[in-house]
Homo-oligomer: A and B are copies of this chain.
Amino acid sequence: MRVLIALGGNAMTSPDGSARPEDQRAAIMVAMEEIADIVGSGVQVVLTHGNGPQVGNLLVKNEIAAHVVPPVPLDWCGAQTQGTIGVLIMNALETSLARRGVVASKPTVLVSRTLVNADDPHFAQPSKPIGRYLSEAEAANLVAHGQTWRDQGQRGWRRIVASPEPVECLDAAAAHVLLDAGYTVVCAGGGGVPVIRNAGGALAGVEAVIDKDLTAALLARQLGAGTMLIATDVDAVMTGYGTPEPRPLGDVTVARLRDLAERGEFGSGSMGPKVDAACRFAAGGGRAIITHLSKIGEALSGRAGTVVTRDETN
């Protein structure tokens, strides 16, 4: 069984959302204990992960140090987090597997890119808020330098960037080779570093962020994974979330889940993209699961989480 597991922020930061180095290290050690159990059970695992708080930190450094060191573009920040999170994951998972006596698989991490269309309409209409909140005056200064910032209400202004559709995980073929050789492969961290193909055919990085769960759905399909599991901080997708009667969804079809999404049941910044990614993957015939990081094992055996399939299960 080949499973793609997409790790959310709670696998990479402390419960209060802090992303100090020690917070990241501790959170990843907890997450890798869960992953080691899955790998130890014989499942072929592909891991991908978010990087929001980490990129946020790098952007702040870019800004504050800009008078001394030239800032690096947004896509470089994503590449940087693939390196740091990748090493933390390898060290923690290799240690957890060794403690269990699992010798059949070792972790490996690919620096990985995701192709997007240069004419993706999201470039003209950036919509994804990233990084820290600033005052209107501070934001105005960065707008003068070509960035897009938007008033987000009480907490202040925030940078808005393009979040184009992932078209192809360019490094999936290398991941395939490593999976076939028995590796647990970390790939497409942060949704992959966004690149475009110029008119002349040249590949070039582009300033954007790609939704990590949408990339995960694409990567899972490219790698022939039967299951894509999105690990997050709730046990299941809920209807009536935030009302007095929230109800967890168990087995659900793509059609039913899309119907609920259209009725506005899921938040656009949080559960919405996860539900969208799960539906995209399941629509192709696979099984998509959304559950809590600590419930991965149970969910893979059908005893926890929201399980999305194209057709009714029975």
Q: Hey, which bits of chain A sit against chain B, CB under 8 A?
A: 20-21, 57, 60-62, 64-65, 68-70, 72-73, 75-76, 78-84, 86-88, 90-91, 94-95, 98-99, 106, 108-111, 113, 170-171, 173-174, 177-178, 181, 183, 186, 193, 195, 201-205
**Cα distance, A178 to B181, chains bound together (Å):** 10
Q: Is the CB of B108 within 8 A of A174?
A: yes
Question: By the criterion CB–CB under 8 Å, are A202 and B65 in contact?
Answer: no
Name the CB-closest residue of B to A67: B64
B111 & A82 in contact (Cβ 8 Å cutoff): yes
Considering the chains assembled together, what is the distance between the CA atoms of A81 and B204 in angstroms? 17
Bound-state CA distance A275–B65 (Å) is 37
Assess the B83–A111 pair: CB atoms within 8 A: yes
A177 — nearest CB in chain B belongs to which residue?
B181
Q: Do B70 and A21 touch across chains, with their CB atoms under 8 A apart? A: yes
Decide: A20 and B70 in contact? CB cutoff 8 A.
Answer: yes
Cβ-closest 9 pairs across A and B:
A79-B83, A83-B83, A80-B80, A86-B111, A109-B111, A108-B174, A91-B203, A61-B61, A64-B65
CB proximity of A63 to chain B, nearest CB, Å: 8
